[in-house]
Copies of this chain bind each other. A is one copy, B any other.
Amino acid sequence: MAFSPVQLTSLGGLHAAVLNQLGQSIVRGDIAPGAVLPNADDLSLQFGVSRTVIREVVKVLAAKGMVESRPKTGTRVRARHDWNFLDSDILNWRFSAGIKSEEAKSIFELRRAIEPMAARLAAERATPADIATLERHLALMEHYADDSIRFAEPDLAFHQAILRMTGNELFSSLASVIETALVVSFHLTDDNPQGQRASLVLHRHLLEAIAIGDADRASAAVLVLLDEAEEDVRRSLGARRSQRASG
């Protein structure tokens, strides 16, 4: 395992560049759990950066539960169950290069646990201002119904707004999971205006349930929405696979 020098053209400076490289290498499994990383000097040479940067990166990876440093032994990759998979960096490293059908499933399992409860709480606690915010996001989605690129942003904002409306910061912190899900499905699905229009209707149902404070209906509406979204992803993954197979 060797690394290439990082370019400082990378967004966020050398630290971010090295962090992403190393993080991805570990997530990809290039450096397996239990294995030790090259020592700080070697990493410094390989990446072409100072040890200062290397050490900061290692400390950040350690904070995410991915590695553990000890004198003499070196820095070793920890077991996967110690990693904080809800960390947005790890999510990105894991899924930016593509997603397997099983991984998509795991994201939807979590969303099915979180979002119905979030919608429920939102329905109980929403203020008129909150509803107005949702309306605004939904209006943008409607406006960009035929533009899948711009559609994604208000879609994400809509779901995140609901998480915030719970008034529970633990829920809000799960926004990165949903963001990952939406980014993945965006990269996956080809332009699909009728799918987006169907999605709009479901979002509208959800909004109305929240607006009238009907927690049960809000929860149910989210589930329907998630079914639809997962079906979309499932279809796209299938299409992609058969595309590769035939190509």
Interface residues, chain A, with chain B CB atoms under 8 Å away? 15, 52, 55-56, 59-60, 63-64, 80-81, 83-89, 106-107, 109-110, 112-114, 116-118, 121, 164, 166, 168-174, 176-177
By the criterion CB–CB under 8 Å, are B15 and A59 in contact?
Answer: yes
Contacts beyond the supplied A86-B86, A109-B117, A113-B113: 8 A-B pairs with Cβ under 8 Å: A84-B86, A84-B173, A85-B172, A86-B174, A110-B168, A110-B170, A113-B118, A114-B114
Residues of B within 8 A of A85 (CB): 169-170, 172-173
Q: Which residue of B is nearest A120, CB measured?
A: B113
User: Which residues does chain B contribute within 8 Å of A169, judged by CB atoms?
Assistant: 80-81, 83, 85, 106
Interface centre among A52, A64, A86 (most CB of B within 10 A): A86
What number of copies of this chain does the assembly contain? 2
With A and B bound together, what is the CA distance between A52 and B114 in angstroms? 40
Give the distance in Å from the alpha carbon of A172 to the alpha carbon of B81 in the complex: 7
CB–CB A171/B109 < 8 A = yes
Q: How far is the CB of A79 from chain B (nearest CB, A)?
A: 11
Considering the complex, give the chain B residue whose CB is closest to the CB of A117.
Answer: B113
Which chain B residue has the least Cβ–Cβ distance from A59?
B56
A177 contacts B172, CB within 8 Å?
A: no
List, in ascending order, chain B residues with CB within 8 A of A15's CB: 59
